[in-house]
Structures are given as structure tokens and as C-alpha cells.
Amino acid sequence: MLNIIDLRGRTPSTSELRRALPRGGTDVNAVLPTVAPIVEAVRERGAQAALEYGEKFDGVTPAAVRVPAEVLGRAVDTLDEKVITAMREAISRVRKVHADQRPDSHTTTLAEGATVTEVHLPIDRVGLYVPGGKAVYPSSVIMNVVPAQEAGCRSLVVASPPQADHDGWPHPTILAACHLLGVEEVWAVGGAQAVALLAYGDDSVDLDPVDIITGPGNIFVTAAKRLVNGVVGIDAEAGPSEIAILADSSADPVYIAYDLISQAEHDDLAASVLITHDEELARAVDREIDERYTVTRNAERVAGALRGQQSGIVLVDDLEQGIAVADAYAAEHLEIHTENAREVAERIRHAGAIFVGAYSPVPLGDYAAGSNHVLPTSGTARFSSGLSTHTFLREVNLIEYDRTALKEIGPHIIALADAEDLPAHGESIRSRFEIM
């Protein structure tokens, strides 16, 4: 079922690897002409324009953009108790991890009377987008809300598409997750229009704009985030989800097959990649996938993803080359199924998150490992990080020098200002010590 990319017998450069490895992706630029008018309409006409686009794309207009508190409260009653318990446990674990991520302030003393203190200030208001397409994502609510709360953000709003089957409100499971997390502000708006409304707000209906927008979405959501970036901050331009698995002969082909299938279940464009130097394991995994993928309810979607150009088996000479390939691919999710898996994992430099050993599969991280599942895609793990408490914090320096400390460093500042032909900079220093 999976394409084979054979890299054995050669040592490709990093640039050759990036071209050779399976990679899907989407062309955000191609949809910008479609999305730009939506963003502009919402910027000009606010909630009314967003509701009009919701009627067009979602086939429903909610009674109001903001979901009433009683609707949020009732949503919990629609859930099975097992789901509520699972959500509470996931929230608890994610909260523990993200609480530990908040850094302490620290002060550096450069001379007597000369200090720089770095403090970490939360972003005031955040907008969290939760999609509502092929699946329901309460886990995305948890993964976006908890780090914002742990960062200490003053207010947050969750936006999720209205559902015709649910009286024009977002899916009850989404609303229930918001209620369990203590989120009081939820907007029934989705797609590019939601991103625009979060960015620009609408004073006429008491919808305040946000300072940063995070959360996954389709290509139209991604394009809208690109268009409003700079008006507000964004977390990333997320592409289709992906998994890479680095495995040797010690790996269980059934585990690997199911992990590749589970990732392919997300979307027809999802990427599932196995990297191994064991050809027998590669054949076994491909065989297991072919025999097992049809048991899932989303078999057609799985087949599309696994047969696509973005998925495949990469054959390498040895583990060393496998690590190099994994680093070049820079997967959103990387599983390590090798002997001494932790040791191998610690040698990886590029991955959104690394899942170590046979009993740390990606679905664990999707829901309840405690880590965040909003991760860099499309190779961007080479230079970016996943969502975390840090995403919602700003580092600010407090610079405090007394007169003696400034006088000591002053001649160096004046010399550098003169070298840059910015004499007023130097005069700013001199004015404190000389009669001008």
C-alpha cells in the first residue's frame, strides 16, 4: 500500500533528502484570493458579515455569535459520563505539564547598580480556534485553553463553527469541554470569517478583538491567519498532520501499522512515514496495514492518505542514516521503535514531539499524555516549537541603571553612537553628566 523510497547505498545531502522524502502540503497562496474578501468584509462589517458567511458555508445562522451561558452548561449533560471523566483526566495531565512550563523571572547584574531583569508577561486576550469539520475536537479545546490559562491570560474566547444539527451552536462536545475548563466566552463562528472576527472584533455587539489567535484549521483558516498576522499574533500556519516512525528489527509491525493508520485517519492529506533499515519489517508493516486498515470506520480516508505521495516507507542503510533522515524530515510527530529508544530519541534534533518506545504512541499525545498536540508541521519543526505556555507569554526586560553605572558605560555608548552616525544617542548620555 505504501510507496517505497530506497535511500540505501548512498549518502544524500540535506537538500537531496528534503526533495526525496515524501511530503504533501497545501498551497496557501492559491486560496488567498478567495479568503482575502472574507477577511476584508468582516473587518468592515464585523459580526454581520461573519454570520452571512456562516450561512453560506455552514448552512446555518446562530441566534447570536456569542453562545449563551445556559447552552454551555447544558452541553455537559449531553455527554456520556465516561467521556466527561476522560476529559477531566486529560485536562488534569495537560495542566500539570503546562503549569511546569511557566518560567521564573530572573535578574542579571552587570555591574554595581546595573541590572537587567527578564519578566514573563501573559498576552492579555487570546482567541482559540477549534474546527468542526470531519471530526469533533474537544481535545483541541483542552490543548489551546489550558496553556493560555496557565500563562495567566486575562481573557480568552473560543471560536468554533455553528452546527445545523445543534440549533446553530457549536458541537455540544466542544461546548462541554469549554464549560469543564471554565471558558465563559464561546463564539458560534467558523472558518476564515472566525479568524477575521477574532482579529478585528465588533464593538456594536460587544465582541472584543484578541491579541493572538491559535488553533488548527483547514487551508482557508490558515490563509486567514496569514492575512491577519501582524494585526494579531498567530501560533503557526499548520499544514496536514503527519507521523514518522523510526524503527529497527526490534519493532512490532502490528503496532507500527496501527499507528500509521491512526494518523492517516485525520485527513486524506495526512502523512504517514516509516523509516527503517530492516526491509523485512517494512514488508511486514505494509502487509499489516493492508490487512487491517479496512476495519476502521474511516477506511476510505485512511486509504487515500496512505496511498498519497505524502506517505511512504523510507529504506535506509542503518540506524545512523535513519536518524539523519528523521532529522531532515522534521516530523510533527516522531515515534521511536528501536532498541535503546530513549537514547535514540535524545539524538533527534528536529521533531515537533518525540514518542519514545512501543508504549508511547501518538494517540497518547493527542489526548492525555500531558504534552500539547498542536505541533509544527511540514518540516517547520526545524525552526519552530509546538503550542505551550510559552506561546502565551511575552519576555520583557526591565533595565535599571543608577547614575554611577550609567556613567561607567557611557563612553562606550557614545563611541558606538558616533560609529553609527547617530550623535543624538550620545548626547542623551552626555546630558546626564555635562551641562549642555
Cα–Cα distance list, 300 to 255, 258, 293 (Å): 21, 15, 9
**241 labeled binding residue:** yes
DSSP β-bridge partners for residue 4: 313
Look-up: residue for cell 472584533?
Answer: 201
Task: Exactly one of 333, 337, 350, 373 is catalytic; name it.
Answer: 333
**193 labeled binding residue:** yes
**263 labeled binding residue:** yes
Strand ordering across the sheet containing 155-160 = 186-188, 155-160, 125-129, 212-214, 233-234
Q: How far apart are CA 279 and CA 285, in angstroms?
A: 10
State the Rg of the chain over Cα: 25
Task: Exactly one of 120, 332, 335, 350 is catalytic; name it.
Answer: 332
Q: How far apart are CA 131 and CA 141, in angstroms?
A: 10
**258 labeled binding residue:** no
Element (H, E) at 415: helix 403-419
**339 labeled binding residue:** no
Q: Is 288 a catalytic residue?
A: no
CB-CB contact of 245 with 2 (8 Å): no
Per residue in 78-100, is it b (16+ CB within 10 Å) or e — as a string? ebeeeeeebbeebbebbbebbee
**360 labeled binding residue:** no
**249 labeled binding residue:** no
**179 labeled binding residue:** no
Q: How far apart are CA 357 and CA 329, in angstroms?
A: 19
SS3 23: coil
Q: Is 373 a catalytic residue?
A: no
**333 labeled binding residue:** yes
Q: How far apart are the first and last CA of the chain?
A: 80
Burial class (CB in 10 A: 0-12, 13-18, 19+), 154: exposed
**120 labeled binding residue:** no
CA 243 to chain CA mean position, Å: 15
So which residues are the catalytic ones? 332-333
Residues annotated as binding site for Zn(2+)? 263, 266, 366, 425
Residues annotated as binding site for NAD(+)? 129, 193, 218
Residues annotated as binding site for substrate? 241, 263, 266, 333, 366, 420, 425
Residues annotated as binding site? 129, 193, 218, 241, 263, 266, 333, 366, 420, 425
